[in-house]
Structure formats: C-alpha cells, structure tokens
Chain A
C-alpha cells in the first residue's frame, strides 16, 4: 500500500502540494487525473523516490521511497512520459536493466513486443514515437513489479494499440499489483481505470472507486438540461447531467463529465465524497 501523509512539496518558489494525504490500495488500477501543472508527474516521482517530500511522509509497503532501498526499488517501475531515444535496441535495454528486478522475465518481454507489434530489430531512435512508447511499455511490464506507474502511456499510440494497451494492463493487474495511470486521455483508459484520483492545485479533490462515485453522484442522460446539476453538457442526442444521487439510482460514470463536475464544484463534491 502507498500512504501519503500531510505531504508538502514545492519546486523553488512553486508550491505543488500543501498538506495532502491519500492512499493507494493494492489490487487496483488507479486513474490519476488533474489539469496541466497540478503535479500528477510530481506525485508519481515522490512515490518512486525521484523526489523527496519537504514535509510529511510517503511510504510504500512501509518503506520510504526517497531512501532508495533496493528492497523497494526492485518492486517499483515508473514509465515517464518523455520517451528515451537511446542508441540501443529495446532488447539490449531490457537486458541491461532487467537484472535489478527479481521477477524480470525476458520471455514475457518478447511476448509483449509481439502482441504490441513492435519491430524487434530496430533501435529506439529508429522507432516511431508510438512504437517507442509500446517498446518501453513492454520493457516496463516484463519487469513484473508490484508497483507500476505510467505517465500518459497512451499518447502517440494508434487506435488498435490503445485497445491492446487496455488488454495487457488488465492482464497485468492482480491482487498484489498497484497500477497508477496518469492521463489526460480518459477515453483511452475508459473501463480500465477505477478508482479515480483527481488532483488540484495543492489539493486532492477525489479518491474514489466507481461504486463509491455512483453511490453519491448520478449521471443522467436525458433530453434536457437539468437546473442545479453539478455539471451539464450537450451530447449528440441529448444532455448528460451530473447531479447528486438522491434516489439511489444506478448509473454509468462518464469520466470527462465527472472531472468537469468536480472542477466546477470543488468543495461541494469533496465534502460529498468524504
């Protein structure tokens, strides 16, 4: 489990987190959402020990990532958004770093490269952006760490690759794994991410599963705009209205509409979900 307690973090003069607390439970695929610059990547860096909290604590299975103990690092992998352009093949790259991860499986790497249809003979700098992303994903997943953090993993993937991405991530997920996917492309990871974490400047606005969300919030698809809804948007064929679930109805979460509803009613929804 990942525990973040009363965390403060700032880059020089820019405050990123002020006294935030949240937990990530194993067995889940978290979707980490937030507007540009709210600190999604910074949070992932804090969890994997690439940044150090200025106040408060971050622990992963009771260990402190910034102490960088091999015991923890061998069980964590962070795939950043920026794509490396090393003058080497993915195969050589994974053989180089694989030795640091006890469950690393070269056969799995080859299988994933095949499934994701990446050319094995090419070097990173000869692959297209999307191909590089897929090669790095195959590398990351072949390490089989319990903690896997992906920053904007679907950027640059073509349409068939996005479906493949959802399939391989679903397969990776087990009772022991904690996967966090930071993304703006919520459509790409629809039906994959649950729970949803929404970050705001200095704050966490939501950390809830779909079941918890739909228990409190109702997503109504209908012919008209409903007054007093948290958020309303016109869709082809009608409106989506995000409103309090006062009558205990079941509905389907529309992540984009949820995000917009939370942004427009920060305190109200934060209190509602407590």
Chain B
C-alpha cells in the first residue's frame, strides 16, 4: 500500500479497508483481519489502525463480536458506495465544474462525451 502525503494515514487505512470490501475480498459477515494483522501487513502503528477501525465501526461498515473480532456488516458495500457518492457530489463535482469554467468547456461537450460513452 502506498500512502500519499496529504490525507491522514488513519483515513487512508479506512479507505483501504473499504476498497477491500468493495472488491469482494471481505464479504458481509466475513471476519476482517485484526488490527494487529493489518498493522503488521502495512508496517503501521497499531494505534493508527485502531483509529481507522473505530471510524469503520462508527460508520457501521464493520462491527465487533465477542470472540470473533471485527466482521463486515450486512449492507457494508451499500454504505461505502453511498458515502463515496456523497463525497463525489460534494467535493469532486464542484472541482470538475470549476475546471470546466476555467477551460471554457460547455455542458453540451460533456453531454456529448457522456452519450458517446453510454453507446459503447
């Protein structure tokens, strides 16, 4: 895993676990690796992993069961996608619109590209 410099590491680890759930590596009801296992795999401070897991728990993507550890919640995938969608609409779209304006790209051009893409 490559960390980038801008985002707090615990959030990058949060994203990393979400990606592994979206990819199907961890399915609903599956046990996720322990804080310790992921810490060793990534060579990261276990307290940082714990912080990421606490956020995953708060967002009800994973939950803990006594004796089992962390497992993936039922509708984890849907929750991740809806959170990512929200993030996309709130952060990436405004950035996208700003760039359209800067480069003088019209909505028609974008619509055109969009309709070409859907025909493929």
| Chain A residues near B (Cβ < 8 Å) | 27-29, 163, 165-171, 173, 191-194, 209-211, 214, 221, 235, 240, 250-254
B91, chain A: closest CB distance, angstroms: 14
| Chain B residues near A (Cβ < 8 Å) | 3, 5-9, 11, 36, 39-48, 51
Which B residues are CB-close (under 8 A) to A166?
43-44
A254-B45 in contact (CB<8A): no
B8-A167 in contact (CB<8A): no
A194-B48 in contact (CB<8A): yes
Choose among A165, A166, A191 the residue with the greatest number of B CB atoms under 10 Å from its CB: A191
B45-A170 in contact (CB<8A): yes
B51-A252 in contact (CB<8A): no
Which B residues are CB-close (under 8 A) to A194?
45, 47-48
Which A residues are CB-close (under 8 A) to B40?
167-168, 170-171
B88, chain A: closest CB distance, angstroms: 19
Which B residues are CB-close (under 8 A) to A167?
40-41, 43
Question: Would A211 and B51 be within 8 Å (CB), given that A252-B6, A252-B9 are in contact?
Answer: yes
B102, chain A: closest CB distance, angstroms: 14
The contact sample of 5 A-B pairs, CB cut-off 8 A, is A28-B47, A170-B39, A170-B43, A171-B39, A221-B5
B4, chain A: closest CB distance, angstroms: 8
Which B residues are CB-close (under 8 A) to A170?
36, 39-40, 42-46
13 more contacts with CB within 8 A, not counting A166-B43, A173-B46, are: A28-B47, A163-B43, A165-B43, A167-B40, A167-B43, A168-B40, A169-B43, A170-B36, A191-B42, A209-B47, A221-B5, A252-B7, A252-B8
Which B residues are CB-close (under 8 A) to A254?
5
Query: Whole-angstrom distance between the alpha carbons of A170 and B51 in the complex?
Result: 15
In-complex Cβ contact of A193 among B6, B42, B45, B51 (8 A): B45
A27, chain B: closest CB distance, angstroms: 7
A192-B5 in contact (CB<8A): no
A191-B9 in contact (CB<8A): yes
